[in-house]
Structure 1
Amino acid sequence: MKTRILLVVVVITFSLLKSYSQTRFVKVNDTIRQFTSYQSTKIKENEKAPLLLNFHGSGMTALEHMMYTKTNQIAEEKGFIVVYPQGINNEWNVGFGQDYDNGTKDIEFINVLIEKLIKNYPIDSTKIYATGLSRGGFFVQRLATELPNKIKGFVSVGAPMPNEVKERIITNKPVKAMYVHGTADEIVKLDGKEGAYLSVEESISYWKTRNNIKEISKTKTVDNIDDGTSVTIINYGSVAQLHIENGGHTWPSADPFNVGFPLGKTTQDIDFNTLLYQFLFHSIN
């Protein structure tokens, strides 16, 4: 009886397409998984819109990440849907810290979630993208390599490519890739970590090769705000890097609060959410 009631609740909540954020549930095998969604009020009736999956970091919740990154605002402004999946115990299975094959079945979760979202939201299935911070950034790269027919591009903040992800890649299908990293990030190192993840440079090199990029990059440095940071945008087309001088382990242009961890500085030199949108949904200049 409890199972039947839960299924009814899931069906009802999926049918309620409101303009504010709502937390919903989806059953994956025998596990109930949670996500929070926001649908722009600018999406017209019978119109299909892009989808952005936004993944929280280790120790954060999806709701905390939603409030921190403020991507609901850019979704409302530009007319798309953003979804914040919730990891089990606030974690994601990225290839280190838990067993890649026998740890939490996060790929299955997102695969099922995407199918449910497409059925219940006005989503353009050819325009599904992912972004994430820290552990969430590591995970979007696993998503992009294991679900390349669904995930068309990603932006990873404070997270180069996990070693295990690179070793298990079985497709060379092009995927848009952007890496965002601060030189003063003390939590996830710019130069990589042996046995865990590559350097940012190695990660970008992989995607340049995979996407068959040969052209010279376009580079510009932005230092609009006197906050001790500057941002160099290196654009290769379908691959890009935001190199944040003196930047920490934070979401660029977010509130620069510190909860007691060595997060470092949050650059205010760019409107990062707009830049993320331009890269994934269009192309940055």
Structure 2
Amino acid sequence: MHCLRLVTLVFIVAFVSANTRGCGKRHREGFNSNKDNHNLQSGGRTRTYAVNVPKGYNDDLDKEWPLIIDFHGNGGSPEKQYENSRYYKYTQGQEYIVVYPAGVEKHWQGPSYAVKGVNDLAFVTDLLEHIRDNYCIDNNRLYASGKSIGGGFVDILACSPEGNPFSAFAMAAPALYAETNPKFKCPYKRAILQAHGTKDQTIPYEGSSSGKGGPIPFILEWVSKWGKRNGCGYQDMKTLIREGDGYKLFTYSCNGYNKIVQHYQVINNGHCWPSTSRATTDGRRDYCGPYLFDYTPRVLEFFSRWNKQNAPSNQ
């Protein structure tokens, strides 16, 4: 009995230590992208990232903060993605530490044009450990988001064991090349949010057999596939039509999970992170109008609903 209590105590102490090992360290609040200070070794490469430290972080160095890792699109950068998702502009978004990693040659694994030999899944694991070592992170509230090929990589992450630490995943206009690979497997249940424009010419909503990085699935078929992965059937799908607000919403709820899969079909929007503002990275592009639908607050609301206690357990 004494041995059992000792083992239990050691486990609890080890968990607490791992969960809070980055606490007590001060950081400059706001957006930080200095590559000399924000890098790590992964897969034999020096990988870099930017981070937005919320206002008030240094007021309580033992407070644990939820984390979002946000992946840029093809040819993008941490700085561009920071101004695309703009989590920092929202009161709810200011409650998160947000990390913006940089892809090797501005790509992520998944498409045929990705840099050969780069394992971005291993990089996510290394990055997560690095952030835990340096920031005060709430391990019960870890999330991943991304746009275009960054969104496609978030899908790959959700379908991989490296995605197990995360509670929910959000994508905008994801380049879902991996999903058409016959060798691609996805044995996991996940909380999934996605938005896709019906006028997307880069990753067409209706799919394509000849995308830049490979074939692309029909988006609604991919959404239904995630419904099935979570144990839902066609009868579990609901549709909310809000054309005046620029979207149709498709959701799956089943097995005690309310709206575990959500898909916003953004009407007449292009290859964009949808926004009502023209000031975002994508918002400056004409094909990202009409500016009726703001995706970021939907992402934040979705993330706020999920944590390691109520998200599907795949471990």
- 2:225 paired residue among 206, 209, 233: 206
| TM-score relative to the length of structure 2 | 0.74
CA contact (8 A) 2:195 2:295 kept: no
Paired position in structure 2 for 1:12: none
Paired position in structure 1 for 2:27: 17
1:265 paired with 2:288, answer yes
1:50 paired with 2:66, answer yes
Distance 2:226 2:179 in 1: 16
Say how many residue pairs are matched: 262
Q: Output the amino acid matched with 1:270.
A: F
Q: Output the amino acid matched with 1:196.
A: P
| TM-score relative to the length of structure 1 | 0.81
TM superposition shift of 1:126: 2.5
TM superposition shift of 1:136: 0.7
Higher mean C-alpha deviation, range 154-163 or range 129-138: 154-163
Secondary structure, counterpart of 1:212 in structure 2: coil
Paired position in structure 2 for 1:219: 240
- 1:251 paired residue among 263, 273, 280: 273
Paired position in structure 1 for 2:50: 36
Paired position in structure 1 for 2:205: 190
5+ residue gaps, structure 2, are: 1-24, 253-258, 307-315
- CA distance 1:135–1:254, shift in 2 (3 Å): farther
Q: Output the amino acid matched with 1:17.
A: H
CA contact (8 A) 2:75 2:107 kept: yes
CA RMSD, Structure 1 to Structure 2 (Å) = 2.7
TM superposition shift of 1:125: 1.6
1:62 paired with 2:41, answer no
TM superposition shift of 1:167: 4.3
Secondary structure, counterpart of 1:151 in structure 2: coil
Distance 2:276 2:122 in 1: 31
Paired position in structure 1 for 2:169: 154
Which string of whole-angstrom CA distances, capped at 9 and with x for unpartnered residues, describes residues 173-193 of structure 1?
Answer: 311112211111111111222
CA contact (8 A) 1:39 1:76 kept: no
Paired position in structure 1 for 2:17: none
Distance 2:84 2:141 in 1: 24
TM superposition shift of 1:78: 4.4
Secondary structure, counterpart of 1:247 in structure 2: coil
- 2:100 paired residue among 81, 84, 92: 84
Paired position in structure 2 for 1:274: 297
TM superposition shift of 1:67: 1.9
The percent identity for this pair of structures is 22
5+ residue gaps, structure 1, are: 1-14, 225-229
- CA distance 1:282–1:90, shift in 2 (3 Å): same
1:241 paired with 2:263, answer yes
Paired position in structure 1 for 2:21: none
Distance 1:75 1:141 in 2: 27
- CA distance 1:58–1:254, shift in 2 (3 Å): farther
Distance 2:91 2:70 in 1: 12
Point out the structure with max Rg over C-alpha: 2
Secondary structure, counterpart of 2:287 in structure 1: coil
- CA distance 1:97–1:50, shift in 2 (3 Å): same
CA contact (8 A) 2:69 2:144 kept: yes
